[in-house]
Amino acid sequence: MNYRTLGTTDLKVSEISFGTWAIGGSWGNVSDEESLRALDYAMDQGVNFFDTADVYGDGRSERLLAQATKGKEDRIHVATKFCRKGDIHDPQTYSEQSVRAYCEDSLRRLNRERIDLYQIHCPATAILRDGSVFGVLDKLQAEGKIRHYGVSVETVEEGLICLQHPGVRALQVIFNILRQKPLEQLLPEAKAKGVGILVRLPLASGLLTGKFTEATTFSNDDHRSFNRNGEQFNVGETFGGLPFEKGVELSRELAWIAEGRGNMTRASLRWLLDQPEISCVIPGFKSVEQVKDNLGAGDVPSFSEEELAKLRSFYNERVHTQIRGAY
């Protein structure tokens, strides 16, 4: 396992880490026993960083992480997020009283005394422009409740706003071969300011595994069914904002990236790891096999300059105009 420093923090994180939305809920059926086996396997392979949120399964993924990392709290880093239990547009959701309550609740579920990285969970843009919430996070950091803080953002604009606040040490962004916009401005500016980048949805909700066809269906409790067109939350969180059938078509055109790299999953993660601004990728998982597959990305060849240029052109010419929602 390779490790990278998260921006200018004191955290060295595994370049392939994992998000826990899928084991919390909203990705179809998942077994807690299998989730725990997968978490144990990942840690045995050197993974030392996991991302979660208080709303993933209403605390389910935080509780699973507490169980899996018991006795390892000093070497397994956990990031969690807050604000989506409330109204993300209401300033009261970001008041000291509210944020402190969210933080204490997560600490209790995680069974930890301090959160390594505490992130605002895709807040309204106006909240970030106002900036008052950063003062609340500064206070919690000074008290030792949180080690560092950051923001999970939906758009490049929001990321650039966050970079104006010196306390922000990490940004979590949607970024993958089918959603390359952060390359233009956000990633270079984050690197210049020493802000770490966590990549969520690195496989575009599974499109970049190459396993889907236009006939693929998802269960009713899977967000790839109930949020396919942004019915419940930002459309960009599902298939990177692409219409499903178009996403399948585009992923089929990318099948060539798997040549010499095992499969599309590993190739897609490798493309992300080749970006120097990236601290880590945080794919989701629901099984040991998925963890194994994702970790295999660390062992496959990097992309050549010619291949990188080909992928950039593909995005600009075939993908960019198909993405829905603000990004």
Q: Which residues form the catalytic set?
A: 56
The overall longest dimension of the chain from CA atoms, in Å, is 53
Among candidate residues 120, 100, 114, the one with its CA nearest the CA of residue 165 = 120
One-character DSSP codes across 196-250: EEEEESTTGGGGGGT---TT----TTBHHHHTTTSSSS-GGGSGGG--HHHHHHH
**CB atoms < 10 A from the CB of 309, how many?**
11
User: 3-state DSSP call for residue 60?
Assistant: helix
Question: Which helix (H) or strand (E) is 182 found in, with range?
Answer: none
What is the rounded distance in angstroms from the CA atom of residue 57 to the CA atom of residue 113? Answer: 22
Nearest Cα residue to 154 out of 249, 94, 237: 237
Q: Please tell me what DSSP assigns to residue 254.
A: T
List all residues 6 or more positions away from 195 whose beta carbon is below 8 Å from its beta carbon. 7, 8, 150, 163, 168, 169, 170, 171
Which two tokens mark 187?
């990633």
